[in-house]
Amino acid sequence: MDMEGYVKRLLGEALITNEGEKWERIRKLANHTFHSESLKSMVPEMSSSVSMMLKNWKDYDGKEIDVFKEFGLLTTEVISRTAFGSSYLEGKDIFEMVAKLTALTVKNVNKIRFPGISMVFKSEDEVEAEKLERRVKYSVMELVKKRESLPNVELGDYGSDYLGQLVKIRHEFDVNKRITPEQMIDEIKVIYGAGHLTTTSLLAWCILLLATHEDWQEKAREKVKETFGFHAPNSDGIARLRTMNLIINECLRLYPPALTLTRKASKKVKLGNLILPQDTNIFIPIASLHHNSEIWGEDADLFKLERFARGIAKATKNNVAAFLPFGMGPRTCVGLNFTTNEAKIALSIILQRFKFVISSNYAHQPAQIFILTPKNGVKVILKAL
């Protein structure tokens, strides 16, 4: 991927941007950390982060709350605890800096830079972005150092979470196999960035849809009660939450957090009726595919859970590539299962404890701020159960 200035500062050289062997190695490691067995062990941690958030929600009984803001804090806490073994407070600075860097990237991504001149005269934003990049590096290295001072590191045990796995390959016996500190920092930054805003948006859009479709909110609550009663969610139950799957799919279809995908043809290729020369950049408009009435029907813009009841192939009239919230192929989102687990756990516990309706102060304004975001938040009125 060709990257310039701000984007490079934000994404660096990591899973999202690397190719070939460099990508493959870290992808394997990330697959391992964010899949099946490892995810099972994260369920209690995710549940207790949600419960912590809901303790504060009690003060909002009968009142308005902006769930988008709340989920921002929740997803920060969850990724900090599960992937980096640290608390929200420890991860908070890194998140805030990555968020500021994202905002500067969004603001400046289409600005033309003149080689030479831009090396000498830096804009205020460029100076700020450089500072942020240095501070993120410093804070990440502090997390790493803490891990390197754990009691069992001599036995090669740096912890089983993502941070531990990365630190482990930084200390590989074979020097050639070690990752550089720079790559490790970029890998950590990418997971912080990718794992946070996307899940925040998904959860906020789900609450919006359930607040405006109270019949489905009630059905979902019934299923949650049938599955868990009033107990915390467990991984077997999570796998059986069928109605919740439909809700999450329909939410990702209507409001896909990632709006576009890009690919580059590595060689001349035939795509349908088109011949694409080597190196052609391909832009895949996820959101417009998700709203295409030829695929989804005349009611494509409506919230209609039944469309997914018989699977994605049926819902898309066998055009499965028309539903791409997490991309497709070997580079599909590595956090897919992590994020859907987190969403199911959060929504289940919220439904167990609260009813919610949309507030009259809610103003619908989906906006592309790097990802698809509710620009004015999602304000609902809570009722404790």
For ligand HEM, the closer of residues 322 and 382 by Cβ is 322
Q: What is the residue whose two structure tokens read 């450089």?
A: 130
Shortest Cβ 35–ligand HEM spacing (Å)? 11
Tally Cβ neighbours within 10 Å of residue 187: 26
Residue 38 or 243: the one with the smaller Cβ distance to ligand HEM is 38
Q: Which is nearer to ligand HEM, 15 or 378 (CB)?
A: 15
Minimum separation from the CB atom of position 193 to ligand HEM (A): 9
Residue 332 Cβ vs ligand HEM, minimum distance, rounded to whole Å = 5
Binding residue per annotation — 206?
A: no
How many whole angstroms separate alpha carbon 377 and alpha carbon 345?
Answer: 21
| CA 137/CA 142 separation, integer angstroms | 9
- Which chain residues interact with ligand HEM by CB under 6 A? 15-16, 27, 34, 190-191, 194-195, 198-199, 202, 257-258, 261, 325-329, 331-335, 338-339
User: What distance, in Å, lies between the first and last C-alpha atoms of the chain?
Assistant: 50
Q: How far is the CB of 216 from ligand HEM (least distance, A)?
A: 19
Q: What is the helix, strand, coil percentage profile of the chain, to 5?
A: 60, 10, 30
To ligand HEM, the closest distance from the beta carbon of 341 in angstroms equals 10
Q: How far is the CB of 34 from ligand HEM (least distance, A)?
A: 5
Nearer to ligand HEM, 144 or 248 (CB): 248
Determine how many CB atoms are found less than 10 A away from the CB of residue 251: 26
Taking a C-beta distance cutoff of 8 angstroms, is the pair 107, 125 a contact? yes
CB of 169 vs ligand HEM, minimal distance in Å: 16
State which amino acid sits at residue 261. L
Q: φ and ψ at 355, to 5 degrees? A: -105, 155
* Closest CB to ligand HEM among residues 159, 327: 327
291 burial type by CB count under 10 A (0-12 exposed, 13-18 middle, 19+ buried):
middle
Q: In the 3-class helix/strand/coil scheme, how is 228-267 assigned residue by residue?
A: HCCCCCCHHHHHHCHHHHHHHHHHHHHCCCCCEEEEECCC
What span, in angstroms and rounded, lies between the C-alpha atoms of 18 and 190?
12
Cβ closest to ligand HEM, residue 213 vs residue 331: 331
Query: Beta partners for 383?
Result: 355
Using the minimum distance from each CB to ligand HEM, give the nearer residue, 188 or 382: 188
Summarize the annotated binding site for heme as residue ranges. Answer: 333
